[in-house]
A and B are shown apart, each in its own frame.
Chain A
Amino acid sequence: MLKITSPFLKKEEVLPLIEAGANELYCGYLSPEWVKKYTAFEFERKGGESNFTDLRELEQAVNLAHKRKIPVYLTLNGLYVKEQYPLLLKIVNQLEQIGFDGYIVADIGLLLTLREKGFKRRIHISTGGTVFNSEAVSFYKNLGVSRIVLDRQTDIKSMMALSRDNPEIDFEVFILYTLCVYIDGFCTFLHTSGRESTEDISRKDWKDNQRLHLLTAYDPESRADACCLKYTVGVYDSTGQRINIKNIRPTFYKQLVDGVECGACAIYEISKTKVKSIKIIGRQLSPESRLRGTRFMRSVLDILENNKEINKRDFIQKSQKLYQKTFEYKKRCRGNNCYHPAVLI
């Protein structure tokens, strides 16, 4: 049966997530030394607040999970230039004192370095590794990788083929929250809001429409990821001539999202592949969201486990009802929030 891999950010989340049905956990670590030198701006392509910052707390969290026989993986899925390696390796050496079950990496240099230095832990390739075909699986297998996290845009057919043809590699797929509409490993847009802090410095007697805030930011203009912006669109033909026809527009998928992004309906088919685990996104979300997501996925898997004869249509119906209840979504599921809308056809 599929395992659920859940993110966590605090030691206090470990036991509730396990009780909610998580079979594996993953987290990140942002070292204060790294922040001092390089800031937390766009650390591992997110803002720094999505990570542990205290090694002791992290170790306690890992030990807590291990007492319940739950493995914990650490994400180190940034891209690192030469100048960053001395500090990066110092941090990795610190992390080696904690008994993680493995690292999730995207950078080929880090992967090669970990192997070169004889680090024995399991290495998972994140979506940053951009694996879409069997030869890419072989490429990473030859580098000693034991699990590949497939990109969110990998279709079920590909999951079936890749996992079937490479039984010695574990495959993991994302299943809930933040669906990237661009290929994660190839997207070079900044993924951080740029705003560091906002403090209301209004005088007490000032009215609501006179508020004044102190804003510190690297980029005050940056309020959303590039894929979520409402662009002004000009349309041109292949010769460069402007076209003024209103209904020629690209689809901005993120603007169609009106609920939690979810792949639950696809679990019926995913469970027939050799994919081993489904991963919930959400280190940057609230603890409640992470817990809710884990419970939801556990319940979806229970639908399959409690009725092995269930057909696909009934499974999807039950999953959608559960989704509507869990995430208070009042509309009919119609594909705009779906990871795998093809399963609805």
Chain B
Amino acid sequence: MERVIFITKINQLKYVTSRFSRLYFGIEFCERLIPSLDDLKKMLCYIQRKGLNISLVSPYVTNIGLGRLKTLFEFLKSEKINCEVIINDWGVLNLINRKYPNLTPVLGRLLTKQKRCPRLIRLLKRQLMPRLIVDSKNPDQRHIFIPKILPLDLDSYYKGSDTSSVPVIHNFLIGQRIKRIELDNTAQGLLLELPRDKISASIYLPYVYISTTFFCPTAGCDLKKAFLLKIKSCKKQCQKYVFKLRHRTMPKIIYLKGNTQFYKNARLRIGEFAKIGIDRIVYQPQLPI
């Protein structure tokens, strides 16, 4: 099982130990945090010294972000560096296959389309019992709750995904030079039907991404004036603050960092993972923003 460490900034190199044979560097969720060319060069020097492999992680991007990525890709091409690129945008895949044959695309977790809502943990346990509940909004209203159970036929839907099970997608991915997909360690478990020896999978620990946005909730969070508009200027408050969100209907704490929400699942089941085609564990020492 290959062990990988995923860092988003140079100052996180302190987390790299001899346990890891590969380093993921970059960002999945925000084009403003795409590493600079200088940082990429420093990272390449580092991995060469340490004898590590590198995978560049790329986010979903507008044309502006595409331009920033092209700068990095052009450098890698000019230096004849072959490496993986984790792609979370079909446009980045298109670009790599058009112009950068030295780069090997890996399907990132935003494109593997798992279902990650924490509420699924409760639903798929199927342990709800009939009971009397009081409506918190209308305490006079009482409900006898009769649970409906999700059919077992939905397990493959909620524990799997289209990219991890559908043959026509597998053939397409192979045709696009993709032989690896990235997955989250969802708390409800995983069901994969990957073609062995053709497509492998990585699993990310411990942070499961749930949702992400261009309307960054963290931008402007420490400004005195309240902003209603969705276009507040970014002062990278995401590098200063993490928010933990709690609600009684959510069985997990939600971590909000920058523009993305996560929950934590550190449960490691190496034996089970290996059986279903997972051969790489990607460790995130911090929330990957």
Contacts and interface: CB of A to CB of B under 8 A. Distances in A.
Interface of A: 37-39, 41, 79-85, 107-109, 112-113, 116, 129-140, 142, 153, 158, 161-162, 181-183, 186-190, 194, 196, 198, 201, 208-223, 226-227, 229-238, 240, 243, 245, 247-253, 256, 334-336, 338, 341-342, 344-345
Contact of A112 (B172, B220, B246): B172
A132 B167 contact: no
Contact of A256 (B142, B209, B213, B228): B228
A216 B140 contact: no
A130 B243 CA distance: 26
B163 to A, nearest CB: 8
A269 to B, nearest CB: 14
Interface stretch (B46-54, B56-64, B196-204, B276-284): B56-64
B211 A186 contact: yes
B23 interface: no
A215 B231 contact: no
16 contacts: A37-B151, A79-B113, A82-B167, A113-B168, A135-B92, A135-B98, A189-B117, A211-B141, A215-B133, A215-B144, A223-B137, A227-B211, A236-B244, A238-B240, A243-B241, A245-B222
A214 B143 contact: yes
Given A135-B95, A216-B147, 8 more contacts: A38-B157, A39-B154, A181-B213, A182-B212, A215-B133, A243-B241, A248-B241, A253-B217
B146 A183 contact: no
Interface stretch (B33-41, B74-82, B248-256): B248-256
Contacts of A245: 222
A216 B145 CA distance: 6
Given A134-B66, A188-B211, A222-B119, A238 B169 contact: no
Nearest to A115: B168
Nearest to B133: A220
B104 interface: no
B146 A38 contact: no
Nearest to A213: B143
A251 B40 CA distance: 32
Contacts of A251: 217, 219-221, 227, 232
B218 A108 contact: no
B14 interface: no
B19 interface: no
B72 interface: no
A182 B143 contact: no
Nearest to B167: A82
B153 interface: yes
Contacts of B161: 79, 81
A136 B89 contact: yes
Nearest to A130: B60
Q: How large is the interface on B (under 10, 10 to 19, 20 to 34, 35 or more residues)?
A: 35 or more
Interface of B: 60-63, 65-66, 89-95, 98, 110, 113-117, 119-120, 122-123, 128, 133, 137, 140-151, 153-154, 156-157, 160-163, 165-169, 172, 193, 209-215, 217-222, 224, 227-232, 239-250, 254, 256
A247 B89 CA distance: 35
A136 B61 CA distance: 10
Contact of A208 (B113, B140, B142): B140
Contact of B61 (A132, A142, A201, A231): A132
A188 to B, nearest CB: 4
A113 to B, nearest CB: 5
A230 B249 CA distance: 11
Given A39-B150, A108-B172, A342 B231 contact: yes
A7 to B, nearest CB: 24
Nearest to A132: B62
Contact of B221 (A84, A135, A249): A249
A188 B220 CA distance: 25
A235 B172 CA distance: 43
A212 to B, nearest CB: 5
A335 B228 CA distance: 6
Nearest to A161: B63
B117 A188 contact: yes
A229 B249 contact: yes
The 4 closest A-B pairs by CB, nearest first: A136-B91, A135-B91, A250-B217, A231-B245
B194 to A, nearest CB: 11
